[in-house]
Amino acid sequence: MEWFRLSEKPSISSSTYCAVLQLCGELKSLQDGKEVHSVISCNDVQINGILGTRLVFMYVSCGELSQGRLVFDQVVNEKVFLWNLMINEYAKVEDFAECVYLFQKMLNAGIAADSYTFSCILKCFAASGCSDLSLGRSVHSFGIKLHFNKETKFCNILLDMYSKCGDLAAASRVFEKTSERSVVSWTSMIQAYSRSGLLHDAIRLFHEMTSSGTKPDIFTLSAVLHACASSGSLESGKSVHNYITGQGLESNLFVCNALMDMYAKCGSMEDASLVFSQMPVKDIISWNTIIAGYGMHGFGKEAIRAFEEMRRDGIKPDGVSFISVLYACSHSGLVNEGWRFFNIMQKECKIEPSLEHYACMVDLLSRSGKLQMAYEFIKGMPIKPDATIWGALLCGCRIHHDVKLAERVAEHVFELEPENARYYVLLANIYAEAEKWEEVKELRVKIGRRGLKKHPGCSWIEVKGKVHVFVAKDGSHPEVRKIEALLRKVREGMKKEGFSPKLRYALMNGDDLEKEMALCGHSEKLAMGFGILNLPPGKTVRVMKNLRVCRDCHEMAKFMSKTTGREIILRDSNFFHHFKDGSCSCRGFW
């Protein structure tokens, strides 16, 4: 710039301006860039396509998209590169409409799009997760006409676009047709299965990939570990871990973070903390993952200890760290500690609490029975509470059987999210547990009228590498008779020791025997029974469930852990229960 300022302006050639602008763009110095632009204007230098491109590049690199667009509109541009530059910028800020507009304008101007143009526009489709896929499809077929489907990169971005827009079948077709699959193709397809909830297909594809000779990289490993984590397949996760060690990637930061998360979500905090302790370098995500892991398992004290250790290590907690530690407090009933962190966050760390933080606090208060205080807390929030905030209080009302307050809270929830079946089901359960059958019926009608669907309860367990799925009241599993016989025996044993079935959780109107039968059909009981019958003696029974665990099942699990001498680890939609010697790690806070 010094040299530029001193030089005789009229003698500077266009290509020199280009070089200087290029530099300004790369250094992101808008001030200098603007100065060069004004010199160009003052000296009446003609802004041709080449110089215009540099100007646009300089502005967009400095984050001045609208300035860049002004220049773009002024210059005559016949080069595809400049159009790509512009389209890519709009794709980055997810301005879907502008991307499409420029794309069409470009075609009208007779400029031939290249594969990069397509990748920019498809990236924008993917980012917006567009519900209407017809545009994406037409861009796809247009790309085929130009034979871009021979290019692996083009296919990969297409695959990703379909996957992010929720069309798994189309994504899979693209994958099948990709002739030269790269590691990115495989990773994207694994991710596509994972996104659609087909976690075991994701894991299967990973094994297919390794046997096909394509070597997974850290992106692939993170993706497959995430699939293991979501499905809770500890055995699959361990086999991936073995692969990682074999490749010498066991010290990689990303891989370790994903590994820890996998172990935590598969119910093994021992393995998670082992990975954590052996990491040579830890970042904030590593710490947040371990804190959240302890929280999920009801190890509140350990979560707090990790949080303090992180601060001693000189890592500044971020918003997620506080969500994790508050969540841990709430699942361990540590109300005072929770308040303390909520204050530290604001006063010491200067972090403005977000909706998630408020949700944690409402959860903390209402879970521990301070329902009225939680209500006042919501009323005093400086930002507008959303459905999850009121939903947390509604959950608390269920735990503490407060029907009156639940009705008031539900009004807020239904107003904010009228289409979410979860909340209607939650209120219906509160009514059912209070035996208010008329109200239950009314709500069921309401759910039906709105065309909403309740997710059926479903549990699964891994035995010898195979996943066995149980759905409530579903007798299709070949061993269901044997399981039921076992459960009946357990129930008799419980009754002898004075544990009566928690009939209010049968959620149905009927006589006691009917209720007891309904409770016995719960999917988590079936899965636990199957595990006890089929796993070698002494081996921990690990069961996953898609919804919250039922209270009666919780009692039975405690009892079974005592009579069989086994540990039972049960993962529900947001928490782990460790049953051992007749008690549970959650100590009632869930």
Kindly list the residues in this chain that would bind DNA in the complex (CB under 7 A): 50, 53, 57, 79, 81, 84-85, 88, 114-116, 119, 123, 151-154, 156-157, 160, 182-185, 187-188, 191, 216-220, 222-223, 226, 229, 252-255, 257-258, 261, 265, 284-285, 288-289, 292, 295-296, 319-320, 323-324, 327, 356, 359-360, 388, 574
For strand 583-584 and strand 576-580, is the pairing parallel, antiparallel, or unpaired? antiparallel
Min separation Cβ 261 and DNA, Å: 4
Give the H or E element holding residue 175.
helix 168-177
Cβ pair 140, 112 in contact under 8 A: no
Q: Count CB neighbours of 100 within 10 A.
A: 17
The three-state secondary structure class of 580 is strand
| d(C-alpha 393, C-alpha 389), whole Å | 7
Min separation Cβ 81 and DNA, Å: 5
The nearer residue to DNA, 518 or 569, going by C-beta atoms, is: 569
Cβ pair 21, 33 in contact under 8 A: yes
The nearer residue to DNA, 152 or 210, going by C-beta atoms, is: 152
At 422, list the tokens: 């979860």
Q: Which residue blocks in 196-247 are alpha helix, DSSP H?
A: 199-212, 218-231, 234-246
Min separation Cβ 234 and DNA, Å: 16
At 112, list the tokens: 């031939």
Angle between helices 253-265 and 269-278 in degrees, nearest 10:
160
| d(C-alpha 423, C-alpha 416), whole Å | 11
Min separation Cβ 449 and DNA, Å: 28
| d(C-alpha 326, C-alpha 292), whole Å | 9
Cβ pair 404, 436 in contact under 8 A: no
Q: Which residues lie below 8 Å from residue 146, measured CB to CB, with a gap of 6+?
A: 112, 113
Min separation Cβ 344 and DNA, Å: 17
Amino acid at 449: R
Amino acid at 500: S
Min separation Cβ 284 and DNA, Å: 6
The nearer residue to DNA, 296 or 568, going by C-beta atoms, is: 296
The nearer residue to DNA, 92 or 551, going by C-beta atoms, is: 92
The nearer residue to DNA, 57 or 431, going by C-beta atoms, is: 57
Min separation Cβ 536 and DNA, Å: 30
- Torsion angle in degrees (nearest 10) through CA of 465, 471, 472, 474: -110
| d(C-alpha 528, C-alpha 287), whole Å | 32
The nearer residue to DNA, 274 or 445, going by C-beta atoms, is: 274
Strand 583-584's sheet: what is its strand order?
Answer: 466-471, 458-463, 541-545, 568-571, 576-580, 583-584
Min separation Cβ 18 and DNA, Å: 8
Min separation Cβ 185 and DNA, Å: 6
At 586, list the tokens: 């959650």
Min separation Cβ 472 and DNA, Å: 24
